[in-house]
Structure 1
Amino acid sequence: MRFLGRSVIARLLVRRVLLGLLTLFLVSIVVFAATQVLPGDAANAILGRSATPERLEQLRAQLHLDRPAVTQYWLWLTQALSGDLGTSLVNNKPVADQVVPRIANSATLLLLVGAFGIPPSIALGIAAAIRRGRRLDTTTSVVALAMAAAPEFVIGIGLIVLLSTVVFHWLPPVSMVPPGRSVLARPQILVLPVLTLVIVCFPYIFRMMRASMIEVLESDYIEMAKLKGISRRRVILLHALPNAIAPTVQVIALTFAYLAGGVVVVEYVFGFPGIGQGLINAVTSRDVPTIQCVVVLLAAFYVAINILADLIAVLVTPRLRTGTWQRS
């Protein structure tokens, strides 16, 4: 049985990794094609209106803009695979030197959201399922529905009005840090962005945990466990929760994949120096290498988080781990 479980996990991991690599390859093609059809010309954007035709032609040749699109894509892909993410067209600095600090800031933001957002969402989902139809269930469900209906920028602006400007003046409304410094140097600037994203992700995790837990608690084997005299706490934690958590893990993965894109809006609202604000700046200045790097990295994060979610779902669910679902 242990060997069967390991083989199921190994096959799942290999299949997901291969599909993830294929997805990243297709995303790289789409991203490169999209940057090729952007209005304007990279050489013109760099040199400005005062550039001479000779200088424009020289820069186009330097950037390989005079070559066919397929050749440009191949050069870009081979450089990226070798670890060279290119040079920014705005300041002529390596893209990696500008992107890596922003990735660290955004990763800090998402880790804090996971630490402060996921446990309460799961705990309240379990509590609401156990007290289905009672006051706690009704109240939390209504609040979660209201949170889900509000876009990220509305929540962010509302928190700024409430906690930073009009009502209270407890927190800084803008997440400003000196260039090259980590956001951890000023922890107070993290509170509003983290709180915004926690409110955004709470309703989806809560509602899935509640629905999955209700379905499992109504199953036959839970009724059998109750008839055997097993304590209610043991039934919930050892029998119901492991089978109800798998769909919630998938929703958590989808939520974080969504946050990888939604963080762009939140970072723009708060002026947070993360990958989202960097992408907006790159699009505004038509910095093609930075755009390509950031979008592919976001796609890689999406693929990685889904692979991790599938693996966790198999590990925590006995039926999936032993492969009995494949034989039924």
Structure 2
Amino acid sequence: MDGCVMAGSPPTESVRPEPEPADALGVHARHGGPWGLATFVVRRVAQGLLTLALLSVLIFLATNALPGDAAQTALGKDATPARLAELRSELGLDHNIAVRYGHWVGDALHGDLGKSTHAVAQGAKDPSVRHLVTAPFRNTMILWFVIAVLLVPLTIFLGTFAAMYEGRAVDNAISYGTLFLGSLPEFVLGTVLVFVFFTTLGWFEPVALFDVDSNPLRHLGGLVLPVVTLLAVSGAFATRQIRAGVREALHSEHVTSARLNGLPEGRVLRRYALRTAVAPGIQSTAQSLQLLFSGLIVVEALFAYPGIGQVLVTSVQSQDTSVVQSIVLVLAALFLIINIVADLLVVLVVPKLRTAVA
């Protein structure tokens, strides 16, 4: 019979072809040829560098627009005019804003993030921003990596599972649960977790009881509540996006055609639905990984975690502009890197996009 195939056999020509993925990445046939993928990567990196350059201008202008005098704040009200002039000269604050921006960018390109105003004022042995932020940044990236390793498989599983059982109890539980968790600010959920798991049950530490130079992985008890807080809030968004993508794919014409041709449901899901949903799934996961950085600042302050978030909050309060500029610039660069990697993964895993740039 022309319209039927045996279970487990490939779909016949009557199955509608898989629709072309949206060209959201700007990948067109003109990038064809053996150097197409390399051209795409170079173009995305160039766009990222241009964006980072523009962001550096905005970051520098915004931090220098803060009210008050950084040198005066660092030295205190009793500082003499001579000492203020000396500190401003040492930090380059006596130049106009264009010259200071040029020095900052030039030094950053050589790996020099400048000097901390407060560290210089206090006569620190090593007042460099790099020395100040290296250990906290390492701690923050460890926390981010732990959450990322858990977030990716968990959100893919929950989103796909909910879409497969659309309208049933499990779908409603996942959908309403993620909607509730995603609407909670990190500090609210974190406070509730502290009350439940420390105050009531006494299971986990309410704060990270280790110093900034310690390896967080040796103090797992201090990681549990920060990880759960960020995983719940950030994972809720990705789970809902993945569910929406898989649900849309399951209702598409080519999936319906595959089912009518007798393909088993598991094969339909793997070969057609998930392949269609993989691109939006990667992009929504990338957005969740980016949102983690903003959530980390709140969670680190809440749980006294010795990461870059605490340093950033303290530096803003004390008007240590060199530290603020460097931290925000590094975070912006990480945002752009995640975007570029996500776009490249989409091209690599979606056959038609991969063909377009190959």
Where on the TM-score scale, by shorter chain, does this alignment land: which range?
over 0.9
CA distance, structure 2, for counterparts of residue 223 and residue 56 of structure 1: 74
1:223 aligns with 2:251: no
Say whether the 8 Å CA contact 2:211–2:306 is kept in structure 1.
Answer: no
1:163 aligns with 2:191: no
2:295 is aligned to 262
Where do 5+ consecutive residues of structure 2 fail to align? 1-28, 121-126
TM-superposed deviation, 1:12 = 2.7
Deviations 1:233-253 (A, max 9, x none): 222123221220211111111
| SS of alignment partner, residue 215 of structure 1 | helix
Q: Select the residue among 18, 26, 43 that pairs with 2:46.
A: 18
Q: Select the residue among 262, 286, 300 that pairs with 2:333.
A: 300
1:146 aligns with 2:174: no
**CA 1:116/1:5 → structure 2, altered by over 3 Å: closer, same or farther?**
farther
User: How many pairs were matched up?
Assistant: 322
What's the RMSD between the two structures over aligned residues?
1.8
CA distance, structure 2, for counterparts of residue 285 and residue 323 of structure 1: 51
Deviations 1:66-120 (A, max 9, x none): 2111011111111111111111122232211121211211111111111222212
Partner amino acid, structure 2, of 1:131: Y
2:19 is aligned to none
Please give the residue correspondences for 1:259-298 in structure 2 after superposition, counting only pairs within 5 Å: 259-298=292-331
Say whether the 8 Å CA contact 1:106–1:274 is kept in structure 2.
Answer: yes
Larger Rg: 2
TM-superposed deviation, 1:310 = 0.8
Partner amino acid, structure 2, of 1:314: V
1:112 is aligned to 146
Q: Please say which of residues 10-19 and 100-109 is displaced more in the overlay.
A: 10-19
| SS of alignment partner, residue 264 of structure 1 | helix
Q: Select the residue among 262, 266, 274 that pairs with 1:241.
A: 274
TM-superposed deviation, 1:7 = 4.5
Percent of aligned positions that are identical: 40
1:60 is aligned to 88
CA distance, structure 2, for counterparts of residue 306 and residue 5 of structure 1: 24
CA distance, structure 2, for counterparts of residue 122 and residue 263 of structure 1: 22
CA distance, structure 2, for counterparts of residue 100 and residue 303 of structure 1: 20
Q: Select the residue among 88, 91, 104 that pairs with 1:76.
A: 104
| SS of alignment partner, residue 74 of structure 1 | helix
TM-score using structure 2 length = 0.86
Q: Select the residue among 30, 43, 58 that pairs with 2:58.
A: 30
2:205 is aligned to 172
Q: Select the residue among 195, 213, 216 that pairs with 2:246.
A: 213
Say whether the 8 Å CA contact 1:5–1:322 is kept in structure 2.
Answer: no
CA distance, structure 1, for counterparts of residue 237 and residue 36 of structure 2: 29
Higher helix share: 1
Say whether the 8 Å CA contact 2:189–2:229 is kept in structure 1.
Answer: yes
1:95 is aligned to 129
CA distance, structure 2, for counterparts of residue 168 and residue 54 of structure 1: 57
| SS of alignment partner, residue 90 of structure 1 | helix
CA distance, structure 1, for counterparts of residue 70 and residue 34 of structure 2: 51
Say whether the 8 Å CA contact 1:46–1:89 is kept in structure 2.
Answer: yes
Partner amino acid, structure 2, of 1:32: F
CA distance, structure 2, for counterparts of residue 261 and residue 18 of structure 1: 25
TM-superposed deviation, 1:292 = 0.7
Q: Please say which of residues 167-176 and 92-101 is displaced more in the overlay.
A: 92-101
- Higher normalized contact order (CA 8 Å, seq sep 6+, divided by chain length): 2
CA distance, structure 1, for counterparts of residue 34 and residue 279 of structure 2: 18
Partner amino acid, structure 1, of 2:279: A
Deviations 1:13-62 (A, max 9, x none): 22221111111111111111112122221221232222211222222222
Please give the residue correspondences for 1:195-214 in structure 2 after superposition, counting only pairs within 5 Å: 195-214=228-247
**CA 1:7/1:236 → structure 2, altered by over 3 Å: closer, same or farther?**
farther
CA distance, structure 1, for counterparts of residue 351 and residue 90 of structure 2: 57
Partner amino acid, structure 2, of 1:109: L
